[in-house]
Amino acid sequence: GWSRPAPGGAVQYCAELVRKRDYEGFLCSLLLPAESRTSALALRAFNVELAQIKDSISQKTTGLMRMQFWREAVEDIYCDNPPHQPVATELWRAVKRHNLT
């Protein structure tokens, strides 16, 4: 499992995930001001995580479990208790930084 990474580790994880799976979105995020870029990458990484579920599972139950993980992760993020997962960590930081609701 993931222990809560240093900010740079989770930021890098999200950037790499988006670069590999959503290159167009990655390039667009580079045009954003630096103070918004990491948050945008976190949101795009979250989108990649959700989009990958359908493509990466062989059984419906596994997909439902992953969707449940992310549903609970979002709830926990808004309760100020993000799971120890790099995308969730950065999503939590984005929520805090920009008061996302």
Would you say 19 and 77 are in contact if contact means Cβ atoms under 8 Å apart?
no
- Cα 67 versus chain centre, distance: 13
Does 57 fall in a domain? yes
pLDDT for the residue 1: 42
**35-94 pLDDT, tens per residue?**
899 999 999 999 999 999 988 888 889 999 999 999 999 999 999 999 999 999 999 999
pLDDT for the residue 54: 85
Does 37 fall in a domain? yes
Q: What's the pTM value of the predicted model, to 2 decimals?
A: 0.88
Does 48 fall in a domain? yes
- Supply the range of the domain harboring residue 66: 7-98
pLDDT for the residue 9: 94
Does 76 fall in a domain? yes
Q: For residue 6, name the pLDDT band (cuts at 50, 70, 90).
A: low
- Number of structural domains (the chain) is 1
Q: 3-state DSSP: the chain helix, strand, coil percent, rounded to 5?
A: 75, 0, 25
Would you say 96 and 45 are in contact if contact means Cβ atoms under 8 Å apart?
no
Does 17 fall in a domain? yes
Q: How far is the first Cα of the chain from the last one, in angstroms, to the nearest whole number?
A: 28
Does 49 fall in a domain? yes
Report CA-CA distances (Å) from 65 to 17, 50, 57, 99.
21, 12, 10, 28
Q: For residue 7, name the pLDDT band (cuts at 50, 70, 90).
A: low
pLDDT for the residue 25: 97
Does 50 fall in a domain? yes
Does 1 fall in a domain? no
Q: For residue 2, name the pLDDT band (cuts at 50, 70, 90).
A: very low
List CB contacts of 95: < 8 A, sequence separation 6 or more. Answer: 77, 78
